Chain A
Amino acid sequence: MTYLAPKRHAGVYRYDEIDRQFLNERVAEYRGQVARRLSGALTEDEFKPLRLMNGLYLQLHAYMLRIAIPYGALATHQLRGLARIGRRWDKGYGHFTTRQNLQFHWIRLEDTPEIMAELAAIDMHAIQTSGNCIRNVTTDQFAGAAPDEVVDPRVYAEILRQWSTIHPEFTYLPRKFKIAITGSANDRAAIRVHDVGLLAKRNEAGEIGFAVYVGGGLGRTPYLGVKVSDWVGEQDLIAYLEAILRVYNQFGRRDNLYKARIKILVHQGGKQKFIDNVEAEFARIRGPKYRLDPAIVEAIERNFAPPPFEELPPYSEAFDRAKREDAAFAVWARNSVRDHRAPGYASVTISLKPIGGVTGDITSDQMDTVADLADRYSFGEVRVTHEQNLVLAHVRQDDLFDLWKALDAAGLGTPNAGLITDLITCPGLDYCSLANARSIPIGQEIQKRFADQQRQQDIGDLKIKMSGCINACGHHHLGAIGILGVDKKGEEFYQITLGGNAELDGAIGDIVGAALPPDEAVDAVESIVDLYLERRQPGERFLDTLARIGMGPFKEKLYGAA
């Protein structure tokens, strides 16, 4: 196995010999597990948790493999490797998820040991992307680039990734465990709806610490996380998390699948009791053994050092001129380009939501194109967002026009990033055996209704998020307009919620009324938007208007007078 090194400045963790040895051992273990399953030495009941902890699901059409993209960060050679794997072992396309991972939907069990070996050769894996264990730690797609960033969350995401990898005590939890971290108060990682959400910050002395939220989650019983500590110092991060996990492992329910998440323990088992238990455990284990050594933080940090930014003026003449001269470019730039902390640079969102396409899907060829562009324009790294898009984080403003032309030529230039047609749909009943209804075609229909760019700009920030079942992989609870597919007497129906948002002061959407058949549901979304446009005051986003006028007018518009 020849290992490829990431481009020198790519902001990904660099594996060394020991990390690779570990990965090889994992691949060997998995190979043995598959052989034992095929021979019958392992029953399906025994094998299932083991394969889930290697990202392998049995889905509607075939096995699905969920490959880990730690905190959404990819080096270009890794993205190319995923493209190769998609061509060789799947059908030449993959799907980015709301946890920054990649899914292939046409996988064969018997091929997976080889696939794991190919992943290992590019320092990748599918470890713990499913199962009742600690999952991918997710973060802000603009980490290391955003002007409002206080602490680079990738450093701690990587530390927690390592800490949680085959943790001997916490690999057989009552249920899955999801951690997200933000380094900015403008939370782009949805930390309030994770089992543990971390807000990295600094105190007056400039030291790094974390506000810790516990017990957030979506699904059947959505909850926002509760702040259990306003300050856990950097050195105590591991000890504090061990304490939380230990309390959960001991006291989380194991008798009822639907009450097994930590959110139930926190919100239904007594918040203060939970906090007291955690603090007691933390006090017990705090000490040299669990202390996060600053030398380790430093060593990890070196992987995320800023790339060698050129000294550029904050304002790019070339960028400005291109916007003036090319209207299409200007529209794209308006939505896809964000400010960067380094003068003269920008962060670019690549929308994977072409009108009428499949949200979040990407072909192997497109992966290669993005990799080439990232090499050329963004120091060899690519990020995956939790809204199923990609980001090139460090692009010179001078290069934006050339970048856009190349993206556009590859079908990756849809200028809808952050607009209403930049919606989230889970794979839904088209792919997923858990689903009650299809999501993708509803999303496509909504996109077509709102395809007009002018109208989209006018509507502005309005996130639509759709899930095909209550498991909420599409994060519908967090949509300004949320759509949940349900099964009503064997037919696909859709329930609409309003007012969700994934920001730090997050909110779970409220149900508008009874579930609707597909056409009516799409009509309803248009009606909701029309009502917003009618009633809004200057400067109000949809969420603002909704907050001001309440659900009443929307209920009435959709369902008639109460």
Chain B
Amino acid sequence: MALLKEGQPAEDTWTHVTDDAPVPANGAITVSAARWAKERQELAGRSAPLGVRLGSADRPESVAADLGRFALVTVDFPKFRDGRGFTTARTLREHYGHTGEIRAIGHVLPDQYQMLRRCGFDSVVVPEGADLAVWAAAHTQYTVAYQAAVGDEGGPLSLLRRRFAKAG
């Protein structure tokens, strides 16, 4: 599995701790939303970077109050057809103003890459065996879009179209 940022492979500096594994004292870790809810106090005491993992049914509201603590939120796509993650990311960005990294994991297609970006995802973990060339190409497939998205700056919404800034 590869982590992609801006269409290119990147290193994953996070450890994703499963629910039954012990939480290491140091290092950047993510925990599931359920574990965060249960062990909030202990986890909040750590000084190393913290992230939370949201399932497709986990609503952003459930972690909204603590967003300031998370440098990373991952959102799971159990099936690429399950589009709840798009709303999750967008809500985290637009409504809750989350500025940390938001990452898509699970079963996603390169054909969804730009939609993920435009909903506020910074990075994607691509499935095993993914053709990275296809992902890289997908990153710049469209230069035109018709509606508001995360990261659109300034001024009233231009409905008709938005031109993406050239990647770079």
Contact = CB atoms under 8 A, between A and B. Distances in A.
Interface of A: 18-19, 21-22, 25-26, 28-29, 32-33, 36, 41, 46, 49-50, 132, 159, 162-173, 238, 246, 249-250, 254, 284-285, 288-293, 296, 299-300
Tell me the dominant secondary structure on chain B's binding face.
Answer: loop
A520 to B, nearest CB: 42
Nearest to A30: B111
B44 interface: no
A290 B148 CA distance: 7
Contacts of B161: 18-19, 22, 162
Contacts of B152: 289
A168 B119 contact: yes
Given A169-B86, A289-B156, 8 more contacts: A29-B111, A165-B146, A168-B118, A173-B83, A238-B147, A249-B84, A250-B84, A293-B156
Contact of B86 (A19, A172, A238): A172
A32 B134 CA distance: 9
A36 B134 contact: yes
Q: Which 10 A-B pairs have the closest CB atoms?
A: A172-B83, A168-B118, A22-B144, A168-B115, A162-B146, A169-B86, A249-B87, A25-B142, A296-B159, A18-B161
Contacts of A289: 94, 148, 152, 156-157
Given A288-B157, A289-B148, A296-B158, A171 B83 contact: yes
B80 interface: yes
Interface in B121-168: 131, 134, 137, 141-149, 152, 155-161, 163
A238 B145 contact: no
Contacts of A238: 147, 157, 159
B90 interface: yes
Tell me the dominant secondary structure on chain A's binding face.
Answer: helix
Interface of B: 59, 80-84, 86-87, 90-91, 94-95, 109, 111-112, 114-119, 131, 134, 137, 141-149, 152, 155-161, 163
A516 B137 CA distance: 56
B81 A172 contact: yes
B83 A25 contact: no
A21 B163 CA distance: 11
A162 B87 contact: no
Contacts of B149: 168
Contacts of A284: 95
Contacts of B81: 49, 132, 172
9 contacts: A19-B144, A25-B141, A25-B143, A25-B144, A166-B142, A168-B114, A171-B83, A173-B83, A289-B148
Nearest to A46: B109
B44 to A, nearest CB: 27
B80 A46 contact: yes
B153 to A, nearest CB: 10
Contacts of A165: 146-147
A551 to B, nearest CB: 42
A164 B112 CA distance: 16
Contact of A18 (B111, B144, B155): B144
A173 B112 CA distance: 13
Given A168-B115, A290-B157, A163 B146 contact: yes
A163 B147 contact: yes
A167 B147 contact: yes
A35 B117 CA distance: 24
Contacts of A171: 83, 86, 112, 115
Contact of A21 (B109, B143, B156): B143
A536 B158 CA distance: 56
B139 to A, nearest CB: 12
Of A249, A291, A292, most buried by chain B (CB within 10 Å of CB) is A249
A452 B50 CA distance: 78
B60 to A, nearest CB: 10
Of B117, B118, B145, B148, most buried by chain A (CB within 10 Å of CB) is B148
Contacts of B137: 32
A423 to B, nearest CB: 36
